[in-house]
């Protein structure tokens, strides 16, 4: 166990990336679906955009580009409903959180249907909660790899929380994407929170200072993390190779995407790998249960229902997002918020519920 003490500094990871015992799906599949997914998504999108540019140099928004972003948008919205098998078909999870999973959705959807102001505020909240949610998914994978390596779920938890939040949010705050995220406050015009519509302009005037502050805090967190890991290593902790790969790859892609790519390309990159990771995790943990509910030998049928059903939901969300009918879009906005909230308690490394 990593809590055993040692007088020497162990810099070598506790397992190689090729060790199947410390992987979630297996070495190769983890490299594609989990710790390597950010790099796969980044390279795929960059290759697609460059290929499109060569085929049609003058068409910055040609069919290939529009199609790529359209598919990623649908996939992003589709993954929101993928939490359903975990939350509602897993009897242990549902019984533990029955009230949260039944009463709260009804209250939320009703509120968004009845109040235009609540709907607008919820849509803005979803944008920023999504940022935190994405950072927490990276944190979750790092903790899963620690658990699989036999490390305590509590060891370095606060450190990893700070680090993964900084790895994802820091480049957003330091790059052009910050203005893109802040622009969503304009939706609040005409609501009780209309004063917040001035925030993007106020912060834009301090853009240089915000960038410096973000870079400084990012550096501080990295240094703080190095100290914490060194102290833990003195007590015998050996970081899993898969966990290190998760943080290194995620951090590097976050900088490349948010720091050096147009905001739309960065958002597409992050949403693509986030959805890939989530679908893979849900199927890995709940695929067997979904198959059992359909009867023996129904794995392909279960996979079809899961992925096709999610895809149909994604298409519905796309249609709702392009329209102006409150009664149509409200359930989808509610689903976004519920997805972010559910993920905070239906998965728990500390309780070994992964």
Do 55 and 292 form a contact (C-beta atoms < 8 A)?
no
**Residue range 219-250, pLDDT digits in tens:** 999 999 999 999 999 999 999 999 999 999 99
Query: Distance of CA 189 to CAs 30, 52, 117, 120, Å?
Result: 44, 38, 10, 9
Phi, psi of 154, deg, nearest 5: -90, -25
Phi, psi of 60, deg, nearest 5: -65, -25
Do 23 and 242 form a contact (C-beta atoms < 8 A)?
yes
Spans in the chain with pLDDT lower than 50? 1-11
Encoded tokens for 131: 């940022």
Q: How many CB atoms lie within 10 A of CB 158?
A: 10
pLDDT value of residue 5: 36
DSSP 243-265: HHHHHHHHHHHHIIIIIHS-HHH
**Residue range 196-208, pLDDT digits in tens:** 888 888 887 888 8
**Residue range 7-19, pLDDT digits in tens:** 333 445 656 899 9
Give the residue carrying structure tokens 């950072």: 135
Do 261 and 177 form a contact (C-beta atoms < 8 A)?
no
pLDDT value of residue 61: 61
pTM, entire model = 0.89
Q: How many CB atoms lie within 10 A of CB 12?
A: 11
Do 347 and 354 form a contact (C-beta atoms < 8 A)?
yes
pLDDT value of residue 351: 67
């Amino acid at each position: 166990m990593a809590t055993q003490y040692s007088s020497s500094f162990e810099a070598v990871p506790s397992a190689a990336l090729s060790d199947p015992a410390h992987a979630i799906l297996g070495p190769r599949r983890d490299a594609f679906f989990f710790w390597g997914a950010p790099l796969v998504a980044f390279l795929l999108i960059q290759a697609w955009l460059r290929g499109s540019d060569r085929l049609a140099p003058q068409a910055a928004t040609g069919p290939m580009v529009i199609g790529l972003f359209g598919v990623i948008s649908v996939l992003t919205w589709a993954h929101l409903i993928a939490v359903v098998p975990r939350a509602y078909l897993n009897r242990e999870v549902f019984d533990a959180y029955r009230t949260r999973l039944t009463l709260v959705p009804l209250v939320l959807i009703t509120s968004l249907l009845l109040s235009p102001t609540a709907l607008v505020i919820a849509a803005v909240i979803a944008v920023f909660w999504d940022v935190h949610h994405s950072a927490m998914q990276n944190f979750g994978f790092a903790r899963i790899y620690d658990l699989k390596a036999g490390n305590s779920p509590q060891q370095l938890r606060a450190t990893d929380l700070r680090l993964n939040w900084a790895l994802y949010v820091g480049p957003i705050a330091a790059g052009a994407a910050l203005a893109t995220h802040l622009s969503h406050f304009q939706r609040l015009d005409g609501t009780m929170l209309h004063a917040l519509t001035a925030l993007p302009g106020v912060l834009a005037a301090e853009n240089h200072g915000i960038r410096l502050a973000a870079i400084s805090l990012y550096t501080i967190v990295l240094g703080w993390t190095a100290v914490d890991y060194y102290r833990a290593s003195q007590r015998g902790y050996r970081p899993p190779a898969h966990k290190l790969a998760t943080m290194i790859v995620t951090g590097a892609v976050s900088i490349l995407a948010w720091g050096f790519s147009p905001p739309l390309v960065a958002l597409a990159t992050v949403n693509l790998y986030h959805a890939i990771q989530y679908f893979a995790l849900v199927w890995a943990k709940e695929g067997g249960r979904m198959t059992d509910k359909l009867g023996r030998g129904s794995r392909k049928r279960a996979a079809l229902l899961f992925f096709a059903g999610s895809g149909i939901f994604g298409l519905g969300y796309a249609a709702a997002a392009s329209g102006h009918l409150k009664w149509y879009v409200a359930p989808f906005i509610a689903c976004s918020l519920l997805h972010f909230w559910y993920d905070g308690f239906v998965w728990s490394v500390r309780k070994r519920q992964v």
